[in-house]
Structures are given as structure tokens and as C-alpha cells.
Structure 1
Amino acid sequence: MASIGQIIFGSMIFLIVVISGLIVFILAIAFSVSQGTVESRSPSAVGNLADDVVLDCRFLSNSGNEQFSDVSITWLKDSVSGVVYEYKNKAAQLQGQNTQFKNRVQLFSDAISMGNASLLLRNVKLEDEGVYRCSVNAPKVSGTTSVNLRVAAFSAPTFTQQNGSLLAQALKWFPQPEVSWLSQTGQLLNSSNQFISSTAGTVQVVSVLEDPVKDETYTCLIQNSLVKAISEATVTANSVTERTYFIFSAASTEVPSLQILLTVILILSANQYVLSPV
């Protein structure tokens, strides 16, 4: 049977454990309330060579929407020394900026007070590919989020009729893509494809639909591991009208052909529904 001293000692240990747990719990709640959230709506992004790209970063206090007057924002890139961009005391602080990003990056200063810490990166280059980290410190908000930027080259094709054939030309693609054509009913059609290299390291895509061309809508698919262009070319007697959808897949190195086929079938089905008589 335990002595009174042992009982008292055990009770004290129990109380200490309970009180410690309560303190940790209260601190966890207080920490959560004070930190808010920092996140990216697009944690994977694809930049188009020589174009601009926005790396998304947003911050929000747990108390709801509010304006922030004292905000510190730092953008870093993994495996790169120095900062990509730093904002503090309502001004850019670029003394430690890596030269790779000089005069090529900026924040949306008018939107910072509303919780927008997104970074605009101009004139995207291949060496810009990598993981970027956005860190924010503001009243009731502190945290970091990341954006994985992949770099490609892509452009929508233009279509022309030539001697009863349909020609598609896209000025820049990288990596080199695959090209295929589908009829209005989703049937795979014959085509001949040519890829013309440029000094910039990209290729120009030239594809000719070899099957006899009728007055209907054809779909041209241009796709590589990062970007898929789904282009509809509607042929009439005197003209070709066109529209292109881009699908980006920065997280995967493989093109999900089944997903693309299903997307195309849905588009074609929608077109047939719109065109069908009531």
C-alpha cells in the first residue's frame, strides 16, 4: 500500500503534466490565431520563354479580410544565393538581390495591403526554372509557401487551307511536342509534321492534315510534357476560324493522353450539341 508521501508526490506529478498540457494547448491556439495563412493558389506554374509569368502568393489573417500596413515579403529561390526580391518598410530592399533577377522582378505594390504578395517575373529564361519560396511577415500573419516554376515554350497555331489540305503552324515550342489531328467525331486522322529548329533553342511546328478536308471542325493537338494546346479549326468554303485551349501540367513529366482525349471528346460533344438542330 502506497504511503501518503507517495500519493502526494504522484498527485503533484499528475497535476504538473495536466497543467503543462493545458499551457501547450493554449499556446498552440494563440500561435495559430496570430500566424494566419500564407499560401499559393498555383503552387505549380509554367512560364513561357521570353514572356512574363506571375508566381502567386497570398496571405490572410485568421480574423478575416483586412488591410495590412506593415508587411515584410521575401522571395527566395532554392539553390540560388541572395534574394529574388525583398520588400520591407514599404519599399524594395534589393541590396542582397541575385544578379539573375536584376530589373526582372517586382511585386504588385498596390495590392500588398490587401494580402497579395505575388511576384511578377519578366522575360522568362530556362535558368529561371526551380522552386521559389515566398515568406511573409505581417500583423497576425507569418508563414512561407512555395511555387515550383517549370519553363517551356508554347504558342497557338494558325490555320490555312492549301490545295484542299489544312495547314497548322505554331511559331515556338519547347520541349519538342507531338502533333495529332482528330475529326469532328473524334477519329484520328493522318498528318505530316515538321519541326524547324531556331537559334533560341525552340522549334517551329508545321503540320499538314493529309486527309481530304471538308466543311467541318477539326482538332489539332500539340503537346509535350508541360503544355497541351487543343486547337479547333472550323473550315468553311472561304475561311478557317480557330480557337485554342492551353492545359498546363507542371507537376508531371508525362502527358496524360487519356485525359487529353477525354477533354477533346467533351469539347467535340459540346460543339455537336450547339450545332445540332432543335
Structure 2
Amino acid sequence: MVYVAPPSNDRYEPRSQSSMSNGMKNIISIIIILAAAIALIIGFGISGHVSEASTMDAALIKTLSSQGRYFITVTTLTSAGNIGEDGILSCTFEPDIKLSDIVIQWLKEGVMGLVHEFKEGKDDLSDQDEMFRGRTAVFADQVIVGNASLRLKNVQLADAGTYKCYIITSKGKGNANLEYKTGAFSIPEVNVNYNASSESLRCEAPRWFPQPTVVWASQVDQGANFSEVSNTSFELNSENVTMKVVSVLYNVTINNTYSCMIENNIAKATGDIKVTDSEIKRRSHLQLLNSKASLCVSSFFAITWIFLPLSLYLMPK
């Protein structure tokens, strides 16, 4: 409280309460006027947007009514395609029981159109790129359990590249990239060649690309270098891309197991043969190289429902 200094020897008193009351009344009046103005502005906003809120699509309101962070996980597996055969581009996602809400899009880097699209429970190939016409399919009966893998028919060398598996469901959306390699690979067959001078082994594989390396190994002579007693040739096949591989190993001995190993940057194949006095046993297997999973989690945020009315009032007309 402020006091006015009185003259000497005179009594002093505080400022009158009546003047203070008048000041408070003025402040209250201003507050009331401002409150009325704010109420009027809000009233205009409500009248302009209530009709819009009443006609909003039910599905949109449901999405906006959700709370928290939404995401789905999409996983792809880097793989290789065998030229001239069918291949699989692997992609999985979190299952959704609402098949009609699931959208699957396959895209390829450097390609204008889509590789494949599946939505509303069926294929939609209206935007498919010409190079994939009649060559793609998803496993429609497995989409609902989270399988978005793509079957690619008659794999071509040009199909190699970076692909994207893009998924939308009622739970959210996500995507993951896939590196797809193309080449040719086949399992070798090893047989014994008999002649008057010595026995030899012939390893033959019908289709390889790019050109592989061929290495012989022996169970008895581990670590031995057989390059000086073997001969390998490559013969171009009729399509002028893949090649037939033939390798011959000389001076073999009985009661031993030999392995013919063929490898390029895509696959490794081995043909084993065991030769004894009484029998010949064979075994072979093929392994794809550099196959690995790619995991991506994409997310989006939903708006808590209590903010919905305020957002409508602030929307411009």
C-alpha cells in the first residue's frame, strides 16, 4: 500500500478505499468485455465447423481416435534368382485379419511403374511396369497371415537390383528393401572315367553365370593343390548367357573321397564322390551366398481424440 507523506506535526492517512474500488471495477469490466469477445469468436468457429465434423468419414474418425504410436515391422530376405527359372522375393509383415485393408506394393529402383500391387484382396496391375507383365504373383491365400512374398516367373539377368516391399494395413505402414541378384547355378555331377592308363573323375554342371571357379579337393590328401592334374572348360549355352562347366581330375586313387567345388559370387555347389573297390557313392549340395534378412520398422503417429474438437475449430473455412 502507498502512503503520502503528511506535513510536519500533522496526522497522515492511507488513500481512500473508494478510489481503489473504482480501479478494481474498471479492471473487472475490461476482463468481462474480453471474455465476451472470446466467446463470440469461438461461437462463430463452432457454427462454421460443426456441420463439417458431423459429416467426417467414420474410418477417419476411428483412426484419429486411436492413441499412441503405431508401426508395423516388415522383413525382407536378400536372395538370388536362377536365370530362366522362377524366383521368390521374400517379404513378411505383421499379420492383419482385415484383408480388405492390406495393401502390398513391390517397387524396383530405376523402374517407373510398379512391379506388383495387391489391394482390397486382389491384384491391381493397372500401374505395373511393362517388363514385369505376366511374370509376377503374390501368395494371395497367405497375405492375411503376413506373407507378402513375390513370385517372379522366368527370371532374367536384368531383374537384378534393389526392390522395396511396401505394406499398409489397418495397424500402420512399413517397408523394407531387398537386394536381388540374378545368375545361373546348378548342382554338379561327378562320375568316374575308366581308361587303359589311369582312372579320372569328370565333374559336370549344366548352367552357371557369372563364370565360376572350380577347385578339386581330396579327403586323403587334404590341402593338396590339384590344379596341375585337372583341366576345366566352359562352354556357352544356346541362350548365350549361361555356360556349361566341365572339369576333369586325373590320376585318382581308390578308397578316397574327392570333391568338385564350383563357386561364383552368387552360389557355391559341391559334388562329392567316394570310390572304393566295391562301390561308388555320390553326394552333392548347393548353397546360396550372401543371403541375409533386412528389417525395417516404419511408424506414424495418431492424434488423441480429446484434441479433435479443438482442431476442427481452428480449421480455416
Q: Same fold (TM over 0.5)?
A: yes
Residue by residue, what CA displacement relative to the aligned partner does 1:124-160 show, whole Å, maximum 9, x if unpaired?
Answer: 0001011110100002131111111111101011111
Q: Is the 8 A contact 1:174 1:202 kept in 2?
A: yes
Q: 1:136 to 1:101 in 2, by over 3 A?
A: same
Q: Secondary structure at the match of 1:112?
A: helix
Letter in 2 for 1:245: L
Tell me which residue corresponds to 2:106.
Answer: 75
Q: How does 1:1-278 map to 2 (within 5 A)?
A: 30-31=68-69, 34-40=70-76, 42=77, 44-60=78-94, 67-69=97-99, 70-163=101-194, 164-185=199-220, 186-188=222-224, 189=226, 190-200=229-239, 201-236=241-276, 237-249=278-290
Give the number of aligned pairs. Answer: 215
Q: Secondary structure at the match of 2:186?
A: coil
Q: Is the 8 A contact 1:166 1:213 kept in 2?
A: no
Between stretches 208-217 and 90-99, larger displacement belongs to 208-217
State the Cα distance separating 1:233 from its structure 2 match: 1.9
With a CA cutoff of 8 Å and minimum separation of 6, indicate the structure with the bigger relative contact order. 2
Larger radius of gyration, structure 1 or 2? 2
State the Cα distance separating 1:191 from its structure 2 match: 1.4
- The alignment-based identity, stated in percent, is 33
Residue by residue, what CA displacement relative to the aligned partner does 1:79-133 show, whole Å, maximum 9, x if unpaired?
Answer: 0011000011111110111111111110001110001111011110001011110
State the Cα distance separating 1:66 from its structure 2 match: 5.5
Q: Secondary structure at the match of 2:68?
A: helix
State the Cα distance separating 1:238 from its structure 2 match: 4.2
Any runs of at least 4 consecutive aligned residues in structure 1 with deviations exceeding 4 A, and if so which? none
State the Cα distance separating 1:249 from its structure 2 match: 2.9
State the Cα distance separating 1:210 from its structure 2 match: 1.4
Q: Secondary structure at the match of 1:123?
A: coil
State the Cα distance separating 1:172 from its structure 2 match: 0.6
Letter in 2 for 1:130: G
- Gaps of at least 5 residues in structure 1 are 1-28, 252-278
Q: Is the 8 A contact 1:73 1:88 kept in 2?
A: yes
Letter in 2 for 1:126: L
Q: Is the 8 A contact 1:67 1:113 kept in 2?
A: yes
Letter in 2 for 1:54: I
Superposed CA RMSD: 1.8
Output the CA distance in 1 between the equivalents of 2:170 and 2:260: 51
TM-score, scaled relative to structure 2: 0.64
Output the CA distance in 1 between the equivalents of 2:289 and 2:140: 28
Q: 1:182 to 1:230 in 2, by over 3 A?
A: same
Output the CA distance in 1 between the equivalents of 2:72 and 2:149: 17
TM-score, scaled relative to structure 1: 0.73
- Gaps of at least 5 residues in structure 2 are 1-66, 293-317
Output the CA distance in 1 between the equivalents of 2:286 and 2:272: 9
Q: Secondary structure at the match of 1:116?
A: coil
Residue by residue, what CA displacement relative to the aligned partner does 1:207-245 show, whole Å, maximum 9, x if unpaired?
Answer: 111132323221111011221112222223443422223
